[in-house]
Amino acid sequence: MSALKLTPETRIVVVGLGYVGLPLAVALAKKFNVIGFDISEQRVAELKDGFDRTEEIEKERLVASTLKVTSSVDDIKDAAVYIVTVPTPVDKKNKPDLTPVRSACEIVGPVIGKNSIVVFESTVYPGVTDEICGPILAEKSGLVCGEDFFLGYSPERINPGDKVHTVDKITKVISGQTPEVVDVLDELYCAVTTGGVFRAANIRVAEAAKVIENAQRDINIGFVNEITMIFQKLGISVYDVLEAAGTKWNFLKFTPGLVGGHCIGVDPYYLAERAKQINHDPRIILSGRAINDGMADFVAERICAQLSGNGKILVLGLTFKENCPDLRNTKAIDLIAGLKVRGFQVDVHDAAADPVEAKKFFNIDLKPDLAQLKDHSYTAVVGVVAHDSYKDIPGSEFERLLEPGGLIADIKAMWQNIEKPQYIRKWQL
C-alpha cells in the first residue's frame, strides 16, 4: 500500500458506538475527522442529544466533541480507516456468535475504498480477522484483501465504569497485514493514548493476547469461587482466609463473585471453541467457566440455608459490576432466579441500572428508592453488587428494612465492619 499520511482531515469511521466504540470515537475526534456509525437509530438520536446511556462519556464532553454520529451507511463511504467495535457474544449453548462481526463486515465492505484499512477491536479467537472478516470484506467490496485494502487488529481494553484505565491512558496492542499498516496504527493510536502501543508479531498473536487476558482472570476467579464453596461447607469465611493469605508477597489477590459481563464471562468460550477446532480439549478453561457459571446458584443455596421457611428478600444490585449501568450477561439474575425457585419473593434495587432496560431484558421492576420501602418487610437483604452507595448504607437502615431476626447477606464483603443490632444476623461468603 502507498503510505497513508495521517492529518486532522483524515477520515476515520468507528463502527459500533457502545461501551468500546463511543469512548474511542470521542478520543479520536480530538485529532481527526471522525464519524461514529451505529445501526441503532435510537442510539444515534440519543448521542446527538448529548445523552450516553452507558455513562462512559459525560454530556458536556459529548456535546463539545467534533464527533459526527450516523446510522446511514451513505455517510461512511471512502474513509481511510474503519475501526470495528461491535460485540462478540455467545449463544445459548455458549458457542461464539460472530453475527455482529459478520454484519459489520457486510456493512463496511461495500463502502471501503482503495487502500482503506479495516481494524477490528472486537474480542475474537485467533484467525477470525483473516479467515472470516477478510473474505467477507473482499466479497462485498470487490477488492483484493492485502492488495486493495488491508486488515488490522487492535484489541479493545475498555473496562466499563472504570474512570482510571480509560482509552486515553491504556497501552494499545496493534497489529496489521503489512508493516506499513502497523506504522499507520501506531501513529493513529499514539495520537489518542499516553499509554503508547505494543506491536504484536502479527494479527493472530494480537487476537490471542486479547482472548487470554480475560480467560486468565476467569480461571483465577474460578479458583477463588471453588475454595469459597469448600470453606462455606467448613463454616469459614473466604474473606477471612484471603485476608490472611494476602499477607504473603506473591499471593494473587482475587475475590469471589458472580462472573458476568461482556468479557470475562464470555471470552473464554471463544478460546475454547478455537481449541476444539484444532482437536484440543480445553479442560482448565472450561472448568473455570463451569465453576463460575454455577456460583450464583451456590450462593442462593447458601443464603437460603441461613433462613427458615419462605419470606421476602431484597436484592441490592443487578448490574454485572459495581458503579456501572451495564446489564449484559449479569449473573445477578441467576441468583435472583435461585432465590425464587427456593420459594422466596424477591424485590430488586439497583443504584446504577436503567429501570427500562431491567424491565426489557429481565422483566424486573426495580424498586426506585430504598427510603420508600416498607419498614421491617424483608427476611433478608442481599448485597450482590458493590456500588459505592451500597457500601455507605448504615446499620440503622438494615434495622428498618429487616424483620426481627432478619439476615444481612454480604456477598461482596461490603459490610464487614457495619454496626448492627444484636437481633439482626449477618452472613458473608
190 in catalytic set: no
Reading the block at residue 136, the C-alpha cell is: 467477507
pLDDT tens digit sequence for 33-84: 999 999 999 999 999 999 999 899 999 999 999 999 999 999 999 899 999 9
> Do the beta carbons of residue 84 and residue 121 sit within 8 Å?
yes
Q: Is the pLDDT of residue 239 over 90?
A: yes
Q: Which residues contact 46 (CB under 8 A, 6 or more apart)?
A: 52, 53
CA nearest neighbour of 28 among 187, 247, 175: 187
pLDDT computed for residue 359 by the predictor: 97
Q: Is the pLDDT of residue 154 over 90?
A: yes
The pLDDT, as a whole number, for residue 408 is 96
Burial of 144 (0-12, 13-18, 19+ CB in 10 A): exposed
Report pLDDT for 5.
Answer: 86
What 3-state class would DSSP assign to 276?
A: helix
326-376 residue pLDDT tens: 999 999 999 999 999 999 999 999 999 999 999 999 999 999 999 999 999
Q: Which CATH number fits domain 295-428: 2.60.40.3080, 3.40.50.720, 3.30.420.40, 3.50.50.60?
A: 3.40.50.720
CA 111 → CA 1, 131, 143, 385, distances in Å? 18, 20, 11, 43
Domain spanning 215-293: which CATH class is it, in words? mainly alpha
295-428 shares the fold of 11-203: yes
Specify whether the CB–CB gap between 88 and 96 falls below 8 A: yes
Contact 97, 88 (CB under 8 A): yes
Query: In the chain, what are the domain boundaries?
Result: 11-203, 215-293, 295-428
Closest alpha carbon to 100 in 120, 77, 82: 120
Pairwise CA distance, residues 51 & 43, whole Å: 9
Four-way CATH pick for 11-203: 3.40.50.11540, 3.40.50.720, 3.40.50.1010, 2.40.50.140: 3.40.50.720
Q: Which one is catalytic: 133, 145, 263, 324?
A: 263
Least confident of 133-147, 211-225, 365-379, 411-425: 411-425
- pLDDT single digits (tens) 95-152: 999 999 999 999 999 999 999 999 999 999 999 999 999 999 999 999 999 999 999 9
